[in-house]
Amino acid sequence: MTKLTIVAFDGTANELEVANGSTVMENAVRNSIPGIEAECGGACACATCHVYVDEKWTEIVGPPEAMEEDMLDFAYDVRPTSRLSCQIKMSDALDGLVVHVPERQG
Ligand code: FES
């Protein structure tokens, strides 16, 4: 199992044990983390699963691909650390990943 921390907008850190191959969005929804709506169910077609990758992790997680970057245009308060959480797949390399939920979705 891999560790994933999703920090809600109110600062609550939700520390989860997750399976490799699952996405950050799936784990957020499964654990009812507030602020991740994921309306399209992970198809990279809604931008309501927007998160900020913690700065310690941005390089390891890497930048969004072109399709995700296009969708991020629809997200609220996009920053250089913004990603769509349905496009981040957990793996050993991401063990300990921390992401932050924005104030609201787009
Ligand atoms: S769940 Fe719709 S873009 Fe991520």
Q: In this predicted model, what pLDDT tens digit does every residue of 65-86 receive, in sequence order? A: 999 999 999 999 999 999 999 9
What's the pLDDT at 106? 81
Q: How far away, in angstroms, is 12 Cα from ligand 1 center?
A: 22
Q: What percent of the chain has pLDDT over 70?
A: 100
Helix/strand/coil (H/E/C) assignment for every residue in the chain: CEEEEEECCCCCEEEEEECCCCEHHHHHHHCCCCCCCCCCCCCCCCCCCEEEECCCCHHHHCCCCHHHHHHHCCCCCCCCCEEEHHHCECCHHHCCEEEECCCCCC
Domain count within the chain: 1
Which atom in ligand 1 lies closest to the alpha carbon of residue 37?
Answer: 1
Among 84, 88, 89, 101, name the best residue to mutate to test ligand 1's pocket (greatest count of ligand atoms within 8 A of Cβ): 84
Residue 77 lies in a domain: yes
Residue 106 lies in a domain: no
Among 22, 24, 25, name the best residue to mutate to test ligand 1's pocket (greatest count of ligand atoms within 8 A of Cβ): 25
Q: Is 64 in the pocket of ligand 1 (CB under 6 A)?
A: no
What's the pLDDT at 66? 97
CATH number, domain containing residue 37: 3.10.20.30
Q: Which domain holds residue 35?
A: 2-100
Residue 25 lies in a domain: yes
Residue 105 lies in a domain: no
What's the pLDDT at 38? 97
